[in-house]
Structure 1
């Protein structure tokens, strides 16, 4: 989709459609009022007749015999809350995509936002309209020959809006890539597939290089915890390192570590069959790191950033780990495996150790679909945030508020650590039935001591379950891209 900025008035636009916003009360925004006046008070009459009441995201498409069709979008009350503005933009993008129009113009300069500036608003435009183009048909034998699309969007604004629109568009492309990787079937999206995708990204930027650790190298490095998971599958595990070095030479990189369990049966601690197909989404932490890297490349951000992916399958077999096994992690910690379905932390702990020893990061954040307990606590609204570093927590919370990809900070207190005590090893891989999200984070904290580290549990936010809604969400790419962009 092409994004164009112009200062030409909206009533002179010659394309297919005009996107106009209608509030639930008060005066029409300037662009809508201009068209309303030219059409002899037509939009006001539609409001008076209750054809459009201005409720948030309400949509009405009006064909025009002469000139562009009108796509009217309810805006709610002004000043408009950030979440309502995003809902309105998504409704506008969806209406444009499903209409017969391929081109449109939009002008939001006179819309009053509650707590957000126009720079933020233009980022949301780029994200919403580019994001509407996501469509997954990779595995269908009959593809839509003429899929609905958006060829171009003309934004009436000052030229300074171009960078913000580009930021939002790049973010949406990263989200779409994350969604595609998550939606791929697990017989395609294997650890080797993720490694190949990382190599493809490296061809897009001279600043990016990839390094892949195979199981022989992991054995040499003493990654017994990771290998205890991957050994149950015929698919070999991989640790994938993507080194994007576009910042100042010698500056320590910011590191993201993604959980990439490309399918999670639970291992010997087998999951129930119902809904197990959605366990292909257990690699969405890894997918979000790849999506974030794509967005960073698109934006050419001058930053030193390393993405590390711990990719493996968790399968039951004669080679799989058993409850009661004890394994040794890369840092020498011995781990009693009480439940083989708590495998994400087993691959992440070795990946974290490797990332810390190799890159000496300025900050390190892991992203994982780690616990059902976090989903039970926060639902599908917030991702769980765990860290003992207050300034890092604040940075991530600010990025989440800006991106509207929200998080909620959960406790990580010393008192929870004793729940991981083991009679036979240094640590157990689960902490019992209580505080499951926190004990999982406590486990990871044992491998990140002294680091500026945070853990994001995205079990509830990485995908949508069931029916037509089922699919990867692309979260937390908006949070991560904003977090990294704020480091510049």
Structure 2
């Protein structure tokens, strides 16, 4: 899908399809009003027939414009003009993209930057147009023949007036980087586990590093992890025939003295639960247990494309969690890289085992902050559903920065407490810590476990178990929380 900025006016615009907004009570925004006058109030006439009221996410095709350079118009409802916010703006964009997705059009032009969205400039609006359209029009095709149902739309032009061209180009650049990062994230996550193994994920990281001069990669093999004492991480991979990999991507956008932002992404390319075997129903979706790792790769790609003036380290511990005679057993006691011993009460709580050693390893980079993201707990889905990701951390300022970034990116977070009382639920009679804390507060106790390995730096944890993929008929990766992380990095770059 190609995106570009167009500065044409209504009197010389030529397009297969023009997308314009309409408010409730059938009011038209600035661009649509100018076009309506050019067309002798034809749009007003069609709207007055009552087929669209302007409610948010309503759409209406206007298909007949004889002797005009615009072949058809897609009207999109934005609701009441004085009640538009960021989320309702994106909801209307998604409705427009969905209408185009089922059409046979090859190109379209969006005249939507004149919709006023509070606290949001032209750069933000153009970025959102690209993000939302690209997300809606994404198609997985690696292992499926989609020729008969392939989306025909290939090019979207975005109208901007001459006075805002510089901010429009900035929005285009940001939108493309985020959209491409989300594409990479979703493509990796949607691949089946027999293709996207830990070795495959490592190869993709190597290919990514080849594309950018200031992006380096290092892959730690199991022998290296053993030498480092990563007993927790290695215990998870013992039941698999696929060797574990610890991927390190190093983006150098600032001076070497600048302390890096470290992103840690859980990379379980398939999670059967180990000896504590998961139920068969829905187990296919456990290929998505590497969405955190895929998001780290996508975010590093976006940062490199934007050439952000930051140093960023991406760490992706990758393995499988399978049942086997050599796999972890409930009751086993492991020794982590930190020296802390861990009693395994449930082998399906394996994500925190590969993360805890990686979080210990992260300290070697002298990080300014560490942010981990993981499809860690089903409890987060129960608590928050599929709207926000869970946020926990040991630093209020870092958590607030992430929340502010999430609001701008429309990639929601909800902070949960990390109180000392919850730590007691991880007590073990046989080790320094148990890997689960029982049925109560599962998302919180998982973060409490990780917090034991992050005491030397500022840290935040994103539980994306409810937001990293969709289930049911629309099953597929979402690419979240890449928009949030990229916005956080943009904010840091602009600070």
TM-score w.r.t. the length of structure 1 is: 0.96
Residue among 176, 179, 184 paired with 2:186: 179
Q: State the Cα distance separating 1:115 from its structure 2 match.
A: 3.4
Distance, in Å, in 1 between the alignment partners of 2:21 and 2:151 is 26
CA distance in 1 between partners of 2:178 and 2:149 (Å)? 27
1:206 aligns with 2:206: no
- For the residues of structure 1 that align with 2:429 and 2:104, how far apart are their CA atoms? 67
1:470 corresponds in structure 2 to 475
Which residues of structure 1 form unaligned runs of 5+?
none
Query: How far, CA to CA, are the matches of 1:379 and 1:263 in structure 2?
Result: 22
Q: Distance in 2 between matches of 1:344 and 1:146?
A: 36
1:134 counterpart residue number? 138
Partner residue in 1 for 2:299: 292
Q: CA RMSD in A?
A: 1.5
Is contact 1:131-1:173 (8 Å) kept? no
SS at match of 1:159: helix
Counterpart contact for 1:255–1:307, Cα < 8 Å: yes
Q: Deviations over 1:297-336 (max 9, x none)?
A: 2212121001100101000001101000000000100000
Are 2:74 and 1:71 aligned?
A: yes
2:226 is the counterpart of 1:219: yes
Residue 395, structure 1, aligned to residue 396, structure 2: no
Residue aligned with 1:273, SS: coil
Structure 2, unpaired ranges of 5+: none
- 1:146 positional shift: 5.6
Greater Cα offset, 452-461 or 41-50: 41-50
Counterpart contact for 1:241–1:309, Cα < 8 Å: yes
| 1:29-428 correspondence runs (5 A) | 29-63=29-63, 64-66=65-67, 67-68=69-70, 69-79=72-82, 80-141=84-145, 143-144=147-148, 147-157=151-161, 158-160=164-166, 161-357=168-364, 359-428=365-434
Q: Deviations 1:100-155 (Å, cap 9, x if unpaired)?
A: 33222233343222332322212112212333441101102564486422224142
Tell me which moved more, 320-329 or 76-85.
76-85
Residue 485 of structure 1 is aligned with which of 465, 490, 495?
490
Displacement of 1:85 in angstroms is 0.6
Contact 2:5–2:172 at 8 Å: present in 1 too? no
Equivalent pair of 2:26/2:54 in contact (CA under 8 Å): no
- Point out the more displaced range, 83-92 or 280-289: 83-92
Find out whether 1:460 has 2:472 as its counterpart. no
Deviations 1:225-278 (A, max 9, x none): 001101110001111000011112211110100001111111000111111111
Counterpart CA distance in 1 for 2:238 and 2:135 is: 38
In the TM superposition, what is the alpha-carbon distance from 1:383 to its structure 2 partner? 0.3
What is the count of residue pairs matched by the alignment?
A: 486
Contact 2:240 2:320 in 1 (8 A): yes
Three-state SS of the structure 2 residue aligned to 1:486 is helix
Indicate if the aligned counterparts of 1:97 and 1:150 stay in contact, CA closer than 8 A.
no
After TM superposition, give the deviation of residue 26 of structure 1 in Å.
Answer: 6.3
Which runs of structure 1 show a deviation greater than 4 angstroms over 4 or more consecutive aligned residues? Answer: none
User: How far apart in 1 are the matches of 2:198 and 2:412?
Assistant: 29
Distance 1:12 1:186 in 2: 51
